[in-house]
Amino acid sequence: MENFKVVVWGDSIPASGPESWPKITEFVHNNFLNTGTHIEVINSSVGGKPAARARSEFAERVMKHSPQMVFIQFGLNDMRYDGKRGNNPISTPKEFKAHLKKMVMCCQDIPAKVVVLGNHQPAPMLILPDGKTYPETVIEYNSAARKAAQECNAEYHDMSQLDIPGGTWRDMVGDDYIHLSELGKNLYANKAATLIMRHINNI
């Protein structure tokens, strides 16, 4: 029997390190939550990748695997100002929403179950060129991701709302205040593994 294929398509949050949250997700599901279906998690994520560029790579990064379930998580790179668009970030929230919708609709053509993830709360209190703080902007892009998922009838989960037993959002991130700590990776993985299990049980 073939494995149930899950593809994770995102930036450095899911891509980072050999012990990424998608890798831990596969282990957690197959060793603790498996009710008869073995999963294979393919992590196609690329560090530094914004949704603005990811949508053009969707066929080779995601669709070629013919997954039954896809997690999509972008945003932190789209909100960056790299100087190439003057006073605009790599993607405005409106553009970011359009990029996500395009990818979600491609998944539905396979068809595959789609889960869009909003980002966790970061720590840097930077003031971006538009006058908003970094955390405020993450909330704005999470809202755009939620709307993209809703308009495509896809599932959305805001990872800034994860329960952190005995801790705070600061425990979710590492020394750079953005990328996930070991605790953060495990909390992401447990959430994703549970979502996969629930979907498989409902098929």
Q: What is the pLDDT along the chain (203 residues), one digit of tens a residue?
A: 679 999 999 999 999 877 999 999 999 999 999 999 999 999 999 999 999 999 999 999 999 999 999 999 999 999 999 999 988 999 999 999 999 999 999 998 889 999 999 999 887 678 999 999 999 999 999 999 999 999 999 999 999 999 999 988 899 999 999 999 999 999 999 999 999 999 999 97
Task: Give the pLDDT confidence score for residue 126 in this predicted structure.
Answer: 86
Within 8 A by CB and 6+ apart from 84, the residues are 90
List of long-range contacts for 106-113, beta carbons under 8 Å, 24+ apart? 106/58, 106/59, 106/62, 106/63, 107/62, 107/70, 107/72, 107/154, 108/152, 108/154, 110/63, 110/66, 110/67, 112/7, 112/67, 112/68, 112/69, 112/70, 113/68, 113/69, 113/70, 113/155, 113/199
Indicate the DSSP class of residue 128.
P
Q: Which of 175, 177, 185, 160 is nearest to 18 (CA)?
A: 185
Where do the domains of the chain lie? Answer: 4-202
pTM: 0.96
CA distance 13 to 178: 9
The CATH code that applies to domain 4-202 is 3.40.50.1110
Indicate the DSSP class of residue 46.
-
Chain-centroid distance of CA 159 in Å reads 9
Within 8 A by CB and 6+ apart from 112, the residues are 7, 67, 68, 69, 70
Q: Decide if 141 contacts 93 (C-beta within 8 A).
A: yes
Task: Give the pLDDT confidence score for residue 11 in this predicted structure.
Answer: 97
